[in-house]
Amino acid sequence: MAVNVEWNQIYCGPAPHPAVLWERWNLDPVVLLALLLMAYLLRRSRRGAAAVFVLAVAFVSPLCALSSALFSARVVHHLLLIAVAAPLLADLIRLPSRGQAGLALAVSTTVLWGWHVPQAYDLALSNIGIYWLMQLSLIASFVWFWQSVFAPDRTPVEAIALVVAGFTQMGMLGALLTFASSQLYEAHAFAPLEWGMLPLTDQQLGGLIMWIPAGIPYAIIVAVLARRFWGAGRVSAT
């Protein structure tokens, strides 16, 4: 059943015309206050400051408005949350969650795939409360996933295998979206036309971003993990 998307209910407002995109900064005082509070609390941490910056790009910069128009921009928005901000935040809170790795992977995968079901996705973009449920559940589930990756008792092989598994599930979702034969999301049924793209092309581009470029932050994390384990003399699986 299709969801009737009300443009005036989309967080960050209606889809912007290309000519006015750079005027569309989100100055929601609640979001700005939350980011300022995070910046203060994490002021002594470079990773914390980087996470706050990434969240500001996602929720304050014109990317937020662009993601109302283009599914591909929404994919970039979500990747910033789950593959950049979430691991930065998780790395600040190291928990001994080695035994929870499988559950954390399953939950984060379910949350990501669940929000890409067309009815759930369109509902999130038509209701501000559901929109924030989407954003917070994505961030929380992936912070948990990355915490399990960075667990102090995690072996190198386990940690890298978890990262590969996390990227694999995202790549599979991206492949499904890339090769879908029809446009799936009512929220992006018309706005891509103003950006010179057919809605299906926009969806395929989003799938490709999720399938290929999304591997960049995952590869960086693998490299960082390998460097840490090497420096700690933990190259072996045991």
Residue 160, amino acid: I
The pLDDT of residue 121 is: 97
Gyration radius of the chain's alpha carbons: 18
Confidence of residue 98 (pLDDT cuts 50, 70, 90): low
Has this prediction a pTM greater than 0.85?
A: yes
- How far is residue 8 from each of residues 49, 75, 114, 187, measured CA to CA in Å? 32, 21, 24, 12
CA dist list (Å): 214 to 37, 66, 72, 204, 237: 29, 19, 12, 14, 27
In the chain, % of residues over pLDDT 90: 75
pLDDT tens-digit readout, 59-74: 999 999 999 999 999 9
Determine the pLDDT at residue 1: 44
